Amino acid sequence: MLRTHTCGELRAECIDQEVTLCGWVDSYRDHGGGLFVDLRDRYGKTQVVFGPESGESVLNASRALRAEFVISATGKVAHRPEGTVNDKLPTGAIEVRCSQLQILNSSLTPVVSPSQTELPGEDLRLKHRYLDLRRPEMQKTLFLRSQIVKKMRDHFEEHGFIDVETPVLGRSTPEGARDYLVPSRIHRGAVYALPQSPQLYKQILMMAGYDRYVQVARCFRDEDLRADRQPEFTQLDMEMAFVDAEDVISVIDSLVVKVAREILGLEVTLPLPRMTYDEAMERFGHDAPDLRFGMELVDCTDLAAQSEFRVFRGVADSGGKVRGMNAPGGGKHYSRKNIDELTEFVQNDFGAKGLAWFRVEDDGTLFSPIAKNFDAALLQQFSDRLQAQPGDLLLFVADVWEVTCKALYGLRRRLGAELKLYDPDTMHFSWVVEFPMFAFDEDEQQWAAMHHPFTAPRPEDLDLLDSNPGQCRAQAYDLVINGSEAGGGTIRIHDNEIQKKVFKLLGLDEAASQERFGFLLDALQYGAPPHGGIALGIDRWVMLFGKRENIRDCIAFPKTQRATDLMTDAPGKVGPKQLEELGIRIVS
């Protein structure tokens, strides 16, 4: 070892020890007669002092030190003189009086300074990721990530799960997200696909008798990126045989308790709150509601139908919905101009035609440009139903049900943050259950799987597969943390006939399902046990537990929004020889 200690561990008890530290020069203060260096590694910072007692050559050499030089410094641990103790550093009581200095490597002036308080632009941070990752904040987050994954692995091992690796090169599944494809050299014209998840492999493992499987699995989806979405991401993937939904949920419940306790020191009480999909959509307009605050959606279609306001009447009469919510304190917080911005927000982002609003005045009456279309008694009914208090802002969207959901969900999220309706430090865990099996795809004029095509219907809804697929509910469960989908799973179909029936409903005829999923249908005929599981989004867990608002801060080497790596410049072009071997021609 080139060092005897790290830069975070020396304390007053170590006085007079001869030590050698290695690290990066975080900052230096040259006083002419003496020079101070804060030496940094991932464990902390320690002050190294150069003075006359260091000897002339060492002192002179120290004058060459600059930010991010890598050095090895040997010397005695000493008390700092009275009055110079630094309370901000855990090592602040001591310093190392350097007697031997080795410059292990120099550094250019860092583009991204690990010690700087102002955060450089994210493009620079990504391009010089080796510098950005030196920042204590990034090191803290990646350490947190490591801890979370370890807790998960421990938990599943304690529960008898076996870690099995599944292929990265697989077969393209046409449903779901767009695949990343890998051309085959040996089979010209054929391609592998990178897995969107290990879904089918883990089901096959259940059929193979590995009744408790777990894997930290990299998944790939070639779709557009978001603040919480990367093209490659990591799932804690698990599957169990001979279980029902309660068994899977229970294993995750205890994991949540463990991680919350051991990572955050937080006691989570079980059972976690549960809500059905229908209830979540009705009360919050979304299947992963943020339950840290109220501001629930309220249906006022019946009241709207009684008004003279043409927009409300028209929508109510044509089968649409008029739904609203009460933004507490919003009447005081938002100006006319702010409300115009909110209107543009719901129009541009969610396709709402407009936003109707009422400000609750000090005397409890409702002020609005459209108030004249409502008589006083009706206004009072709106006011009562939304439990309006002076200073509140009542917001309404009139449209088809789906649009009211999206627009009000978007508003609720935005206003919840802007009006500070919750403490950002709280953590809220819940389950959303009883998802529909199918959603109707208007473009394709076709039922589409809400979760995936292998999801089992609830036994009591089995008949609905034939009579009314839209009403058929799945044995599905999503883990929601602070309004974020942190995991999702289902009980799978283990019956060949039901699986065939679902494929058929999804528009896959016998030949197509045989071609794509023949291996699954085959396996289902050789003694497939009942099974189900779940996948947890590890990157999102890190975001939520680490209070990061950006998934890129939770991944060592993430992609930009345009799915490039600014450090390596991936994806890149390849030469004609490589393309020729693969039988690929670039057309445009």
* Interface positions, 163-182, toward RNA (CB under 7 A): 173, 175-178
Neighbours of 490 (CB within 10 A): 24
Position 18 contacts RNA (CB under 7 A): no
Q: How far is the CB of 295 from RNA (least distance, A)?
A: 18
**In 3D, which of 103, 115, 24 has the Cα closest to residue 62?**
103
**Smallest distance, Å, CB 63 to RNA?**
8
| Closest distance of CB 375 from RNA, Å | 36
Beta strands in 372-503 (DSSP E): 393-399, 429-433, 438-441, 446-449, 476-481, 484-491
- 192-231 binders of RNA (CB under 7 A): 196-197, 199, 221, 223-229
Nearer to RNA, 62 or 430 (CB): 62
Q: How far is the CB of 132 from RNA (least distance, A)?
A: 11
Write the CA distances from 139 to 128, 236, 308, integer angstroms.
Answer: 15, 22, 60
Cβ proximity to RNA: between 370 and 523 the closer is 523
**Number of alpha carbons in the 13 Å side-chain half-sphere of residue 482:** 19
Q: Which of residues 484-503 bind RNA (CB under 7 A)?
A: none
Task: Write the DSSP symbol of residue 203.
Answer: H
Answer left, alpha or beta for residue 473, where phi above 0 means left and psi between -120 and 50 means alpha.
beta
Report the nearest approach of RNA to the CB of residue 87 (Å). 9
User: Which residues, numbered 300-329, are part of the site for RNA (CB under 7 A)?
Assistant: none
Residue 540 in contact with RNA, rule: CB under 7 A: no
Instruction: Give the DSSP H or E segment for 21.
Output: strand 18-30
123 belongs to the binding site for RNA (CB under 7 A): yes
Site for RNA contains 350 (CB under 7 A): yes
Taking the complex as a whole, how short is the minimal distance between the CB of residue 289 and RNA, in angstroms? Answer: 14
Least distance to RNA, CB of residue 255, Å: 21
Question: Minimal distance in Å, beta carbon 264 to RNA?
Answer: 24
Q: For RNA, what does the binding mask look like between residues 376 and 415, x meaning CB under 7 A?
A: ------------------------------x---x-----
User: C-alpha angle 127/131/137, rounded to 5°?
Assistant: 110
Least Å distance, CB 269 to RNA, is 31
> Least CB distance from residue 77 to RNA, whole Å?
12
Q: Residue 206: CB partners within 8 Å, gap ≥ 6?
A: 213, 239, 240, 241, 492, 528, 529, 531
Contacts of residue 579, defined as CB under 8 A and 6 or more positions apart, other chains included, come to 585, 586
Q: Give the DSSP letter of residue 211.
A: -
Cβ distance to RNA smaller for residue 62 or 383: 62
Q: Which stretch binds RNA (CB under 7 A): 122-130, 181-189, 268-276, 507-515?
A: 122-130
For residue 52, state whether it binds RNA (rule: CB under 7 A): yes
Select 49 or 370, whichever has its Cβ closest to RNA: 49
DSSP per residue, 77-133: EEEPPTT---TTSTTTTEEEEEEEEEEEE--PPPSS-TT-SSPPPHHHHHHTHHHHT
Q: Which two tokens stand for residue 320?
A: 């649409």
Query: Which is nearest to 245 in space by CA: 558, 457, 411, 21?
Result: 457
83/575 with CB nearer RNA: 83
Q: Which stretch binds RNA (CB under 7 A): 34-42, 155-163, 302-310, 422-430?
A: 34-42
Candidates 2, 13, 16, 31; binder of RNA (CB under 7 A) is 31
Q: How many residues of this chain bind RNA (CB under 7 A)?
A: 74
Q: Which residue, 200 or 303, is less far from RNA as judged by CB?
A: 200
**Smallest distance from RNA to CB 31, Å:** 4
Is 113 a binder of RNA (CB under 7 A)? yes
Q: Give the nearest distance from C-beta 469 to RNA in angstroms.
A: 14
| Element (DSSP H or E) covering residue 535 | strand 531-537
Q: What is the DSSP letter of 53?
A: G
Amino acid occupying residue 321: K
Query: What is the smallest separation between the CB atom of 59 and RNA, expressed in angstroms?
Result: 10
Q: Which is nearer to RNA, 238 or 386 (CB)?
A: 238
- Tell me: does residue 453 bind RNA (CB under 7 A): yes
Rank residues 47 and 475 by Cβ distance to RNA and give the closer one: 47
Q: Name the residue nearer to RNA (CB basis): 147 or 172.
A: 172
The tokens of 558 are what?
Answer: 């993430």
Q: Long-range contacts for 201-204 (Cβ within 8 Å, ≥24 apart)?
A: 201/166, 201/167, 201/170, 202/166, 202/237, 202/238, 202/239, 202/533, 203/239, 203/454, 203/492, 203/520, 203/523, 203/531, 204/519, 204/520, 204/523
Count of C-beta atoms within a 10 Å radius of residue 522: 12
Options 119, 376, 417, 462; binder of RNA; rule CB under 7 A: 119
Burial of 172 (0-12, 13-18, 19+ CB in 10 A): middle
Name the residue nearer to RNA (CB basis): 225 or 268: 225
Q: Is 575 in the site for RNA (CB under 7 A)?
A: no
Residues with Cβ within 8 Å of residue 426, at least 6 apart in sequence: 292, 482
Q: Which of residues 69-108 bind RNA (CB under 7 A)?
A: 80-81, 83-86, 88-89, 92, 95, 97
DSSP 295-341: ---EE-HHHHHTSS-HHHHHHHHTT-EEEEEEETTHHHH--HHHHHH
Question: Mask: binding to RNA, 546-565, rule CB under 7 A, as x and -?
Answer: ----x-x-------xxx-x-
* Residue choice 90, 120, 136, 530 for contact with RNA (CB under 7 A): 120
How many Å separate Cα 376 from the centre of its chain?
A: 46
Q: Interface with RNA includes 36 (CB under 7 A)?
A: yes
Which residue in the block uniquely carries the two structure tokens 């605050």? 293
Q: Which is nearer to RNA, 164 or 177 (CB)?
A: 177
Stretch in the footprint of RNA (CB under 7 A) among 13-21, 114-122, 202-210, 461-469: 114-122
d(C-alpha 515, C-alpha 173), whole Å:
11
Listed residue (212, 211, 411, 207) closest to 297, CA to CA: 411
Give me the least distance between CB of 439 and RNA, in Å please. 8
By beta-carbon proximity to RNA, the closer residue of 113 and 166 is 113
Q: Does 448 bind RNA (CB under 7 A)?
A: yes
* Cα–Cα distance, 462 to 456 (Å, whole number): 9
Of 162-170, 345-353, 390-398, 496-504, which segment contacts RNA by CB under 7 A? 345-353
